[in-house]
Amino acid sequence: MESSCNITTKPKNVREFFTTMYFWRPFLGILAGVLAGYLYYHFVESTTQGWSITSDAYSSIAFGGFLGFFVTSSPCSCFSGKC
């Protein structure tokens, strides 16, 4: 059976690592998740007065960052149309 996941070789040094998608894709996912977590806290949780699990800003931001990392770190996720 043929796999649709192309695995590329890992970067050899630190400078090469910071210029590849091994670094940028999870970093941007965490950044988007942190932003979404904060916006969720600011617009939703502050009006409901903290009745959910993410009732303070720090836990909303951490939860959003974790979800952003989790979504973008799939080893075979399609990014920019190629797997």
Alpha-carbon span 29 to 58, nearest angstrom: 18
Alpha-carbon span 20 to 15, nearest angstrom: 9
Alpha-carbon span 34 to 69, nearest angstrom: 10
pLDDT at residue 54 in the model: 61
pLDDT at residue 7 in the model: 62
The tens digit of pLDDT for each residue in 22-49 reads 788 889 999 999 999 999 888 887 666 6
∠ CA 39-48-45 to the nearest 5 degrees? 20
Q: Residue 39 has which token pair?
A: 């916006």
For residue 46, is it within any domain? yes
For residue 22, is it within any domain? no
Q: How many domains does the chain have?
A: 1
Q: Residue 59 belongs to what domain range?
A: 32-73
pLDDT level of residue 14 (50, 70, 90 thresholds)? confident
For residue 17, is it within any domain? no
pLDDT level of residue 71 (50, 70, 90 thresholds)? confident
Q: Evaluate if residue 81 carries a pLDDT over 90.
A: no
- Structural contact between residues 62 and 33, judged by C-beta atoms closer than 8 angstroms: no
Mean pLDDT of 51-60: 74
pLDDT at residue 78 in the model: 54
